Structure 1
Amino acid sequence: MTDTRKFFRRSAGVNRDVCKNALACLLLLAFGFSTVAMAQVRDLVRGSVDSNNVVRLSESKVSWASAENDLGALDEATVLQALSVNLKRSAMRQAAFESLLQEQQDPASVNFHAWLTPQQVGEKFGASANDIQAITDWLQAQGLHVDRVANSRMSISFSGSAANVKAAFGTELHRYRVNGETRIATVDTPRVPAALVGVIQSVRGLITARTHSYHTLTQHQSSAPMPGATQPELSICPPAGTCRYFLTPADFATIYGMKPVLQQSINGAGQNIAIVGRAQVSNADIEAFEHVTSLPNSDPILIVPPAGISPPPASTSCTDTDPSDCGKANDQSEATLDVERAIGTAPGATIYLVASTDVDNQDGVLIATEHVIDDTPLFAKILSISFGSCESDAPPNGLSYLDQLFSQAAIEGISVLVASGDSGVAGCDTTGTPPKLQFRSPNALCSSSYVTCVGGTQFADTTNSSAYWSSVNVTGYASALGYIPEGGWNEPLDSSNASQIAASGGGVSAYLPTPSWQAGVGVPGTQGRYTPDVAFSASQHDGYFTCIASGNGSCVANSQGSFGFIAIGGTSASTPSMAGIVALLNQKLGGPQGNLNPRLYALAATPSNGVFHDATPASSGVTSCVITIPSMCNNSMPGPTDLSAGLTGYPLTTGYDEVTGLGSINVQNLLAQWVATVPTFFVPIRRCRYAPLHC
């Protein structure tokens, strides 16, 4: 791992050599060469802070905070926790920050992989001590309690009563009923003293931000061992119909070119993967999964963020839960899936489950995410997030905050993986339910260019399954014979042939710009940040083998030798799978890689390197690809009663597409080609729609 002290010495030396006079310094800053050492801290608070001289922030209201949803004012005695004032940098500091991000990915730079700690981010690029003191003094003068200043010095957390919040920010808080849940939002745009408007970007926590997990599950029972066999079979082959198979870690390794890598003892050893969630897991589930799939025993390490609340102990059987909830997708099944998929892909890695329940208006997943990025230097350089919410539900200032937070992760060398979503192009619809909202919206957490957004594919194996799957299982319940052609994940009908929402999320951000590196064959243009970036199998058709006792899938054999297990689909499964692959990459290269995207798109520019399996209409097996009909060649949505009466999505194309991104990955080729490809940085493409962070 690069010593960050060397980075500061080297950058300082470069500046002394080049910056001989004031003109040279200005040129150096203008062209962005090693600007980090010269990004001097400046006070952005101008003049005295007068609470009678206020300015409203440039924030937009959320669409759901409407009169028809309004339940009235929030009780002013209500105490609100986990609020924060989010700050912004001067133009000079932001330019220096972005310059360092590029230098960290340039092998020719003295700052290549010179990752910073959260504290160093604050020292070099955070708000000045005077600005932080001015904001802190003002918050306290309003009767609010200052709880913490982020190590990055880019946010200040506080708490207080709804009455004090109303007085401080000049807006009443109301309750709203939206899709069956109660949310909170401001009636007016928050206001702050005019002297602080130059340093305050937004106020977070005044509008409910809730994420949901992306997975669906079904219960299954293995067969009893056949005479002379040592283990039961997992595949389900009805007398008439198509056989159904289940992805075990050994199958995933076979299909995606991991077996040669694992045979070289590249298994994630020495790497830490942080998985964020809202629930604990039962270690008995994890150990049963490892036993059945022939993996070494390794329990995850639970961490509860100091700003969070510990989730209750995990359920260990259906009798521990509400019977109506048994076997349904929930936060525990999400956490279990994520841990088992990460272990299944990188069995030598250490898995940290960073979990918190929600705290008032703040989502526990976001609390956990902040902890991994800002509170734990050198803790985990891989962060897996299998949650999200659609952009249309999120306030624009929330997207700016997330983009800023994930950019901090990138400069610290953290690779962030986020699920693209399971509702196809209609990101605001609830997965599995009949179509309802029917408008395009991607996952807001995926919109940042500093995360690798992971979508879903579906195997095109139904017409000749014997060509891809063995009729018997071998060690680790492996049955896949090799790579299986893929299309886009899209299952518009449930087991009863009723319309449902279940497809790879993707689309274009309405708020954040096209990143400089997102170019190449198939990239639609420069309308915004396009997602996803990569994809792996996510369908229930060949669901991931999972052990969850509380869902009647303990993987513990009964007296007949068979056992219950769970099959899970969704981009929640493909995301921790990618996190495990990053652990293999980091182990081989001897250190973290930070933001993966610039190099991934550079690799995709040379298809002959075999890094990506490009999902196309041809590989999907769809004989007649019609964009208005949901199928494996698109992520279009069905109508409530008619497949062709839904929302038109995006098509699979050669190269990049907004269903599977660049495609799935051949892991052996990825690791072999990674160091041979240098990312190309283009002139940044900037837009100013709804005042995004960098405009």
Structure 2
Amino acid sequence: MRNEYLMLCASIAVAIAGLPVAAMAQPATSTNAAIADLNTVEMPRVTKTVDSSVLSTVAQSHLGLLAKTTPTAVVADSTPMNHMQLILQRSALREGALNALISAQHDPKSPKFHTWLTPQEYGATFGVAEVDIAAVKSWLSSQGFTVHGVYPNKMQIDFSGTAGMVKRAFHTQENHYTLNKVSHIANASDISVPTALKDVVVGVAGLNDLRPQALHVAPKIAQFDATSQKFKITQPATVHNLVANPEAVSFQGGVRGLVPYDTAKMYGVDQLRASGITGKGITIAVVEDGSMVPADWTNFVSQFNLASYGGTFAQIQPQATPAMVNCIDPTIANPGEDDTETLLDAEWSTAIAPGANIVVASCDDSNGKNFFGGVFTAATNLINGASRPNVISASYGYGEGFVDAASKTAIDLMWAQADVEGISVFVSTGDSGTNPSFNGSVISGAGLDANAFATSPNVTGVGGTDTADVLDKTSSKYFSKTTNSEYGSALSYIPEIPWNQSCGNSLAAKFAGQPSALEFCKQYLTYDPYGYYVTSESGSGGPSSVDRKPAWQRQVHNAAKDQSRDLPDVSLFAGSYGGYTWVIICTAANPCVPGFTAPVSLEGGTSLSSPMFAGIQALIDQGLAASGLPAYQGNAAPTLYALAAQEYGGATGGTPASLDTCNSDNGAKGTGKCVFHNVTRSGISTQCIQQLPGVVTADCYFYGTIQNFQGLYGPVQVGLTSSSATAYTPKTTAYSSQQGWSFAAGLGSVNAKNLLTAWKAFDNAP
């Protein structure tokens, strides 16, 4: 056994050493002979007859949150369950070799620095052996399932069946449940598989229909007022508008709508654009479960004078292989209807990188067409396909508490493969503070959590910021009173705080003359006795309960002293306190017209932040390619943290003077030479509730009771998110900003021009 172990280690080492440099836009090269040898050296792991009467339970293969939830009905056996994913488990040796390669690919001193693989090379080196895959496929077919195919990564098998087949093969019952007031389907217990297969089967992704949700706020329809140079919300008043507004800021004169000119000015993108860096030649894919009207994108680039930069737009349904068709077109019901999330992602990645090729990769997951979800399918198909993008943005998510182990494993395996192939992936961290599963509602019945789609150590999690000028009363310093020919008004970079629309916003509390956010929230109760303004709307951050902290995240000043992968990594504008500042999107229902003489849609959320950072990465990629460096950079986070350590200082030792210099509060002049804008004020502690009597809400400090919440729900306790149920202090607040890295804003935002300069130096390091 010892000799076999050493032989396998040596073979893997030889295989990795022999890997060719992959040209990512080209068809896959033939598999290296040394890689092929792995399948002959590594012994099969399915060594016994597959007997469906000899079973092993797959731990954590159902949603733990169902333990306290009573099913509403049994799912009929005839219910289709299409395109589930059986997730495979590679050997420990191959897992170790993969981690070693990823580390080397991001180490400028390694000969494997930026040596990327194709999907076929990835599958041959790090996938499950063909003989073991054949055994699993044979068993699935014997249970009546339709096996659609094996992915090139050799880590997942696409198959379909019915709820009855799932019950018989995996020994679990599919039930209907109501979670967060939404009806869902999920397996009631952990699954079982034949013991002979247990070493190569992680589980099944798609046994429940809880899928990542879009992370944008509800759009507002507004009309531009040329006199005030502001937008006035035109939507009908809702019931809570009848209650005295308790917020610190009154926006009776209208709200602000940012345009591409503004964000380019804020983040140093305009300086790159002036030198010809526009993202030209770089492909950004936004992965979606809905489609958009293509004319929206054309309207957007026309309205904001971006067409001359030569960017392109395409909307596709990617397939991993021609024979395995599992991405179904989420067709638009009528010509005037499109998906807000999709067009936000496509338009605002273009806003930053107007010369880039934008690809909307969308797969339907409605009506059981794709049971594990369209967003995952779109992403994994792109990553396994013949033509792969340079950059992927995913503006979707849900907390790790809402994901079973197999589904989380599938997500992490997908993003690791993208990294090995050189694809830079950006994922929104969430829109509901310390728990991303409550977008558009209030945290209840759950504690601290992090976005399962973003906690992979192979992606860059993007949080949300707000411009601080309104609450600082400095708008005249950073915005002109009138808009220019491109409808922009930003004058420079603007100091930022974490995006937080709740009374937990400590800067808003100060603006209102309150000594603390806690006292400000207590004042809310006086003016908002029914809780219509109670909200958890905020940029999200927090530690993973699944993924371990990567080494690169430990190397910066004030990195959390935990063992968890922490979010966010970076942040960009997402929204504002009180809903004052938004971005403009052009939709089919409300197209943009010259002068904004017709109503337009205003949007926000970390769904905006992620595609904007994807746009910044496209600029970086083009700039590097122009210098003869690779246009594919893989996961951006390791480089971002290495560069941040230069400005903020490392995890140990003294801190450089630039830690103070690069404070976001110093504005444009102070941070002009910085790569990062360090966000150090306020935080993302938001409101949370607990119905009485009801399910206990963890990690919430309750400061009061609303006797009839929103006039419908009876007595509800209301609090602020905290790591302590008995104290709300700077140490327990979840979470505050600080110098260096924080759960509230990560490393902060960036100056794109300075980032490119620093990145070039990093890539050229000996």
Asked if residue 347 in structure 1 is aligned to residue 432 in structure 2, the reply is no
Deviation of 1:543 (Å): 0.9
Asked if residue 654 in structure 1 is aligned to residue 654 in structure 2, the reply is no
What are the within-5 Å matches in structure 2 for residues 492-531 of structure 1?
492=502, 498-519=533-554, 520-531=556-567
**1:323-351 per-position Cα deviation (integer Å, ceiling 9, x unaligned):** xxxxxxxx711111111101111000111
Q: Which residue of 1 aligns with 2:755?
A: 670
**1:499-545 per-position Cα deviation (integer Å, ceiling 9, x unaligned):** 22210101001111111111121211123110010000111432112
Do the aligned partners of 1:32 and 1:96 also contact (CA within 8 Å) in 2?
Answer: no
Q: Distance in 2 between matches of 1:544 and 1:574?
A: 11
**Which of the residues 329, 333, 336 maps onto 1:310?**
329
Which letter maps to 1:597?
A
**Which of the residues 607, 613, 620 maps onto 2:677?**
613
Deviation of 1:31 (Å): 13
Q: Distance in 2 between matches of 1:239 and 1:542?
A: 13
Q: Distance in 2 between matches of 1:639 and 1:94?
A: 50
Question: Relative to structure 1, is the Cα distance of residues 133 and 315 closer, same or farther in structure 2, using a 3 angstrom cutoff?
Answer: same
> SS of 1:185's equivalent?
strand
> SS of 1:416's equivalent?
strand
Asked if residue 410 in structure 1 is aligned to residue 419 in structure 2, the reply is yes
Do the aligned partners of 2:620 and 2:756 also contact (CA within 8 Å) in 1?
Answer: yes
> SS of 1:529's equivalent?
strand
Do the aligned partners of 1:425 and 1:636 also contact (CA within 8 Å) in 2?
Answer: no
Q: Which residue of 2 aligns with 1:692?
A: none
Q: Which residue of 1 aligns with 2:38?
A: 40
Deviation of 1:63 (Å): 3.2
**1:286-340 per-position Cα deviation (integer Å, ceiling 9, x unaligned):** 22222221110755211113312211227554xx6xxxxxxxxxx7111111111
Higher alpha-carbon deviation: 670-679 or 339-348:
670-679
Do the aligned partners of 1:32 and 1:95 also contact (CA within 8 Å) in 2?
Answer: no
Which letter maps to 2:620?
L
Q: Which residue of 1 aligns with 2:339?
A: 332
Question: Relative to structure 1, is the Cα distance of residues 527 and 23 closer, same or farther in structure 2, using a 3 angstrom cutoff?
Answer: closer
Question: Relative to structure 1, is the Cα distance of residues 628 and 302 closer, same or farther in structure 2, using a 3 angstrom cutoff?
Answer: closer
Question: Relative to structure 1, is the Cα distance of residues 637 and 475 closer, same or farther in structure 2, using a 3 angstrom cutoff?
Answer: farther
Q: Which residue of 2 aligns with 1:484?
A: 494
Q: Distance in 2 between matches of 1:286 and 1:639?
A: 47
Question: Relative to structure 1, is the Cα distance of residues 123 and 360 closer, same or farther in structure 2, using a 3 angstrom cutoff?
Answer: closer
Do the aligned partners of 2:222 and 2:231 also contact (CA within 8 Å) in 1?
Answer: no
Do the aligned partners of 2:464 and 2:572 also contact (CA within 8 Å) in 1?
Answer: yes
**Which of the residues 593, 597, 605 maps onto 1:556?**
593
**Which of the residues 277, 292, 295 maps onto 1:266?**
277
Higher alpha-carbon deviation: 489-498 or 31-40:
31-40
Question: Relative to structure 1, is the Cα distance of residues 212 and 628 closer, same or farther in structure 2, using a 3 angstrom cutoff?
Answer: closer
Q: Which residue of 2 aligns with 1:458?
A: 466
Q: Which residue of 2 aligns with 1:570?
A: 605
Deviation of 1:179 (Å): 2.4
Q: What percent of counterpart residues are identical?
A: 32
**Which of the residues 443, 446, 451 maps onto 1:443?**
451
Deviation of 1:207 (Å): 2.2
TM-score (norm 1): 0.84
Asked if residue 604 in structure 1 is aligned to residue 644 in structure 2, the reply is yes
Do the aligned partners of 1:599 and 1:678 also contact (CA within 8 Å) in 2?
Answer: no
Q: Distance in 1 between matches of 2:130 and 2:364?
A: 32
Long gaps (5+) in structure 1: 1-20, 227-231, 321-330, 681-695
Do the aligned partners of 1:413 and 1:595 also contact (CA within 8 Å) in 2?
Answer: yes
Higher alpha-carbon deviation: 391-400 or 656-665:
391-400
What are the within-5 Å matches in structure 2 for residues 148-187 of structure 1?
148-187=149-188
**1:549-604 per-position Cα deviation (integer Å, ceiling 9, x unaligned):** 32xx321259xx72221221110001100010111111111111001111111011
Q: Which residue of 2 aligns with 1:546?
A: 585
Q: Distance in 1 between matches of 2:374 and 2:15?
A: 38
Q: Distance in 1 between matches of 2:453 and 2:702?
A: 21
Q: Distance in 2 between matches of 1:437 and 1:502?
A: 16
**1:216-247 per-position Cα deviation (integer Å, ceiling 9, x unaligned):** 221111234x7xxxxx9456799986774222
Do the aligned partners of 1:274 and 1:353 also contact (CA within 8 Å) in 2?
Answer: yes
Do the aligned partners of 1:501 and 1:637 also contact (CA within 8 Å) in 2?
Answer: no
**1:390-440 per-position Cα deviation (integer Å, ceiling 9, x unaligned):** 111111222122111100000011111100100001322232x34534521
**1:597-638 per-position Cα deviation (integer Å, ceiling 9, x unaligned):** 111110110114611100002xx5xxxx896889xxxx9999
Do the aligned partners of 2:223 and 2:232 also contact (CA within 8 Å) in 1?
Answer: no
Higher alpha-carbon deviation: 262-271 or 514-523:
514-523
Deviation of 1:50 (Å): 1.7
Do the aligned partners of 1:438 and 1:646 also contact (CA within 8 Å) in 2?
Answer: no
Q: Distance in 1 between matches of 2:443 and 2:559?
A: 28
Higher alpha-carbon deviation: 127-136 or 297-306:
297-306
Q: Which residue of 2 aligns with 1:7?
A: none
Q: Distance in 2 between matches of 1:23 and 1:356?
A: 44
Do the aligned partners of 2:348 and 2:611 also contact (CA within 8 Å) in 1?
Answer: yes
Q: Which residue of 2 aligns with 1:220?
A: 222
Q: Which residue of 1 aligns with 2:193?
A: 192
What are the within-5 Å matches in structure 2 for residues 97-246 of structure 1?
97-216=98-217, 217-224=219-226, 233-234=229-230, 244-246=255-257
- Number of equivalenced pairs: 626
> SS of 2:444's equivalent?
coil
Q: Which residue of 2 aligns with 1:6?
A: none
> SS of 1:334's equivalent?
helix
Q: Distance in 2 between matches of 1:626 and 1:52?
A: 51
**1:446-504 per-position Cα deviation (integer Å, ceiling 9, x unaligned):** 11011100000111101021000011111311210101001111011699971222101
Do the aligned partners of 2:212 and 2:453 also contact (CA within 8 Å) in 1?
Answer: no
Question: Relative to structure 1, is the Cα distance of residues 548 and 396 closer, same or farther in structure 2, using a 3 angstrom cutoff?
Answer: same
> SS of 2:161's equivalent?
strand
Q: Which residue of 2 aligns with 1:683?
A: none
Long gaps (5+) in structure 2: 20-33, 234-248, 319-324, 504-523, 626-630, 648-657, 659-672, 689-699, 707-715, 723-733
Asked if residue 369 in structure 1 is aligned to residue 408 in structure 2, the reply is no
Aligned alpha-carbon RMSD (Å): 3.2
Asked if residue 426 in structure 1 is aligned to residue 435 in structure 2, the reply is yes
Which letter maps to 2:331?
P
Question: Relative to structure 1, is the Cα distance of residues 206 and 674 closer, same or farther in structure 2, using a 3 angstrom cutoff?
Answer: same
Q: Which residue of 2 aligns with 1:325?
A: none
Question: Relative to structure 1, is the Cα distance of residues 673 and 638 closer, same or farther in structure 2, using a 3 angstrom cutoff?
Answer: farther
Question: Relative to structure 1, is the Cα distance of residues 654 and 47 closer, same or farther in structure 2, using a 3 angstrom cutoff?
Answer: same
Which letter maps to 2:623?
K
Which letter maps to 1:83?
M
Do the aligned partners of 1:214 and 1:386 also contact (CA within 8 Å) in 2?
Answer: yes
Do the aligned partners of 1:248 and 1:544 also contact (CA within 8 Å) in 2?
Answer: yes
Q: Distance in 2 between matches of 1:280 and 1:30?
A: 44
Q: Distance in 1 between matches of 2:251 and 2:177?
A: 51
Q: Which residue of 2 aligns with 1:256?
A: 267
Q: Distance in 2 between matches of 1:173 and 1:40?
A: 39
> SS of 2:545's equivalent?
coil
**1:10-29 per-position Cα deviation (integer Å, ceiling 9, x unaligned):** xxxxxxxxxxx998996897
Higher alpha-carbon deviation: 596-605 or 84-93:
84-93
> SS of 2:426's equivalent?
strand
Q: Distance in 1 between matches of 2:391 and 2:161?
A: 34
Do the aligned partners of 2:684 and 2:744 also contact (CA within 8 Å) in 1?
Answer: no
Which letter maps to 2:456?
S
Do the aligned partners of 2:500 and 2:686 also contact (CA within 8 Å) in 1?
Answer: no
